[in-house]
Amino acid sequence: MSKNREKDKSPARKETILSGAQPTGALHIGNLEGALRNWVNLQEDYWMFLCIVDWHALTAAFNDTKEMKSNIFEMAIDFLAAGLDPDKCAIFIQSEVKEHAELHLIFSMLITVPTLTRLPTYQEKKDSLDSYGFLGYPVLQAADICLYNAHKVPVGKDQEKHIWLAADLAKRFNSIYRKTLNEPEALLREIPLILGSDNRKMSKSYDNHIPLAFTEKQTEKRLRSFYTDPEKLRQGDSGHPEKCPVFLLHRVYTEDPDNEIAPSCKSGKLGCVDCKMILNKNLNNALQPIRDKRVELQKTPDFVWDVLKMGGDRARTRAEIVMEKVRSAMKTNYRSKGK
């Protein structure tokens, strides 16, 4: 019996996962398929912390904070509507757990400026964003992760270097003081490619996205505006599904796109408008349960804020334990007994 128990995912044996998301407001289907669905699966098998990183968002939006509160709220609603369960996953606001700032400060001593300036994420934006805070963005991210002693961090490939940096910081801390922190690993996953209406990456900032919050009407209008194969101008022309962002969406939302859609697109039998309307039906079907839940949650804002508060309390409990270990390893817990 005890052997079986060991195999069980009993809570004490679960590993910890942490991920973070900047509060950009309502999420879109790219976020849903790229991150949210994965998190919803992971919450079953791990201790999960999901941090809405408002301090990270400040690096770019320090002078424009009026949307922050509603962005946090909308994002939390999308998390819950997509199936994240507050009993299984602590969803919380970074700035409500002050220990993030404390560990960030300590980590900032353990890393050199050139290590940070070399990072591609810094290089890309340094001309428009050269603040001290922005330079430290990945250091704060490392603190987010190590503060919970997370083992795994589900992120996109673009974030991989930041997770390496977090692992380096944990390692450095352990070697200077005492083994205290886990060295976290990125949890990368194959995700479906989803492009926006203009054939670029789907993003709120390009306004080419399909928010989860869209109504069926809005979804249909957005789909009608989608870029399609420029060589297929009218029904009868043969199309190239492999070059078409609408077909990419069929891959996610249509049961058997290779037989149902691709051949008739190629032969010219299926016109682009009809093709989009098939997708419209399937996409709306897939999103309906999320949308219904969204509408419900909109009506109970207190519940949503309570979820965030509870999540913050759970996160803080863990963070305080790890910070105590950090201070103790550093011998900076001056009020404790002993030398």
Q: How far is the CB of 158 from ligand TRP (least distance, A)?
A: 8
Near ligand TRP by CB under 6 A: residue from 18, 48, 84, 194: 18
List 27, 52, 53, 146, residue binding ligand TRP (CB under 6 A): 53
> Which DSSP string corresponds to 54-65?
HHHHHHHHTT--
> Of 18-26, 72-80, 234-242, 307-315, which segment contacts ligand TRP by CB under 6 A?
18-26
Question: Where in 125-144 is the site for ligand TRP (CB under 6 A)?
Answer: 141, 144
- Identified binder of ligand TRP from the candidate list 145, 223, 272, 322, rule CB under 6 A: 145
**49, containing H or E segment:** strand 47-52
Separation CA 66–CA 73 (nearest Å): 13
**Which amino acid belongs to residue 48?**
M
CA pair distance 59, 135, nearest whole angstrom: 9
Q: Does 261 bind ligand TRP (CB under 6 A)?
A: no
Selection from 252, 203, 188, 212 nearest residue 42 by Cα: 188
Alpha-carbon distance 66 to 45, whole Å?
A: 37
Cβ proximity to ligand TRP, 153 vs 323, nearer residue:
153
C-alpha span between 316 and 19 (Å, rounded): 16
Using the rule CB under 6 A, give the single segment among 20-28, 190-198, 247-255, 270-278 that binds ligand TRP. 20-28
Burial of residue 213 (CB within 10 Å: 0-12, 13-18, 19+) is buried
Residue from 16, 22, 71, 254 in contact with ligand TRP (CB under 6 A)? 22
Q: Could you list the residues that contact ligand TRP (CB under 6 A)?
A: 18-22, 53, 56, 141, 144-145, 153, 155, 159
